[in-house]
């Protein structure tokens, strides 16, 4: 009797295992099919996007073009500056050096136009009312804190901040910043700016609210740029991403044990969210860590919520208050 019972239990568990495996592959297949259908629809969206090369129209040109350029690009010519300032800048040796490097790096801009078209097709699919912006390229004295500027109808790209991390013009800039000054990150930078444009600002000053705000921006990267390496979406190297992935549970334990989630001091944002060569736990392992680890954790919290509530619309996810999203996510890293 016991032997018969064991056989029946074994058969039951094997059958249950088969059902679970079948359900897993069914859900996975259905998800992939749904994503493929979306990608087909996205690909079919018509986008008219090209780069307006203001940088080429301005530098090393005759002073007579200034008047025409001011009428075409009034937002690039602050009224407090006289024409003499712009005429001088046209032939300034440093400006010409920057423009020369831009010309060498971006001799052909087809790839940038293709990347941005791909990005805005995704944006239009999920945000149909979005206006495809006028895209204007310029140089801006390698101001890497303002690499791009986005509004609802205008996108400015400072090409001199995307010359490649090893460009000699970047000598003296810290390595953690130089690594982001690469052409492949133009689409990531633009996607981030769009995300900041559409996601409501954190409703409170807590570290948790800021983490989840940054996490929502990164979640949009997943949606807008599904074909690029996941580490590129947070501007990590593969090694940095792997460190974050493998140490997620320990980072989370640190945040919980130090009771930082509801702290409002800027210190925590500076240590774990702002760009930096590494995150500041003030431990011996700091040099091994990537910067912005708080943003990475916020990303995982948002993904945990979406996994638990896949029926929630994208708009609802982005507008959900941080505390509510966190509570419902049941986030608890297990690695």
**For 91-116, what is each residue's pLDDT tens digit?**
999 999 999 999 999 999 999 999 99
pLDDT (mean) for 20-43:
56
Q: Are 165 and 182 in contact (CB under 8 A)?
A: yes
Chain length of the chain: 335
Residue found under tokens 């996607």: 191
Q: Where are the domains of the chain?
A: 51-197, 207-329
pLDDT (mean) for 63-82:
96
pLDDT (mean) for 256-281:
96
Is pLDDT at 147 greater than 50 in this prediction?
Answer: yes
Using DSSP bridges, classify how beta strands 148-150 and 134-138 pair: parallel, antiparallel or unpaired. unpaired
Is pLDDT at 306 greater than 70 in this prediction?
Answer: yes
Least confident of 15-29, 90-104, 222-236, 254-268: 15-29
Residues 6+ apart with CB under 8 A from 259: none
**What is the Rg, in whole angstroms, of the alpha carbon atoms belonging to the chain?**
24
Is pLDDT at 2 greater than 60 in this prediction?
Answer: no
For the entire predicted model, the pTM comes to 0.87
Residue 170 in tokens: 């970047």
Residue 201 in tokens: 């600002």
Give the pLDDT score at 203.
87
Give the pLDDT score at 16.
43
Q: pLDDT-based confidence at 49, cuts 50/70/90?
A: very high
Task: Report CA 126 to chain centroid distance, whole Å.
Answer: 16
Residue 109 in tokens: 């801009």
Residue 149 in tokens: 């500027």
Residue 59 in tokens: 């530098």
Is pLDDT at 33 greater than 80 in this prediction?
Answer: no
Residues 6+ apart with CB under 8 A from 50: 113, 135
How far is the CA of 33 from the CAs of 30, 62, 242, 329, in angstroms? 5, 56, 28, 25
């Amino acid at each position: 009797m016991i032997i018969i019972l064991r056989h029946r239990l074994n058969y039951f568990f094997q059958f249950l295992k088969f059902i679970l495996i079948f359900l897993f592959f069914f859900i996975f297949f259905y998800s992939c099919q749904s994503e493929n259908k979306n990608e087909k629809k996205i690909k079919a969206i018509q986008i008219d996007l090209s780069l307006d090369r203001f940088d080429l129209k301005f530098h090393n040109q005759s002073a007579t073009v200034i008047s025409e350029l001011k009428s075409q690009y009034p937002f690039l010519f602050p009224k407090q500056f006289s024409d003499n300032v712009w005429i001088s800048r046209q032939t300034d040796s440093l400006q010409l050096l920057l423009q020369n490097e831009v010309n060498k790096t971006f001799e052909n801009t087809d790839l940038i136009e293709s990347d941005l078209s791909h990005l805005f097709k995704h944006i239009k699919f999920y945000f149909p009312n979005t206006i495809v912006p006028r895209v204007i390229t310029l140089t801006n004295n390698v101001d890497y804190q303002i690499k791009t500027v986005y509004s609802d109808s205008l996108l400015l790209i400072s090409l001199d901040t995307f010359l490649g991390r090893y460009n000699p013009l970047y000598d003296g800039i810290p390595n953690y910043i130089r690594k982001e000054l690469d052409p492949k990150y133009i689409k990531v930078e633009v996607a981030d700016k769009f995300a900041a444009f559409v996601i409501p600002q954190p409703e409170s000053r807590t570290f948790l609210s800021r983490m989840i705000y940054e996490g929502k921006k990164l979640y949009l990267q997943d949606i807008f740029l599904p074909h690029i390496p996941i580490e590129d979406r947070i501007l990590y190297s593969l090694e940095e991403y792997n460190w974050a992935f493998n140490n997620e549970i320990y980072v989370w334990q640190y945040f919980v044990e130090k009771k930082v989630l509801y702290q409002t001091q800027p210190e925590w944002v500076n240590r774990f969210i702002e760009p930096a060569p590494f995150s500041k736990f003030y431990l011996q392992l700091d040099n091994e860590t990537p910067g912005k680890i708080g943003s990475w954790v916020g990303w995982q919290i948002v993904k945990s919520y979406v996994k638990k509530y896949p029926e929630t619309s994208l708009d609802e996810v982005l507008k959900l208050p941080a505390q509510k999203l966190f509570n419902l996510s049941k986030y608890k890293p297990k690695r």
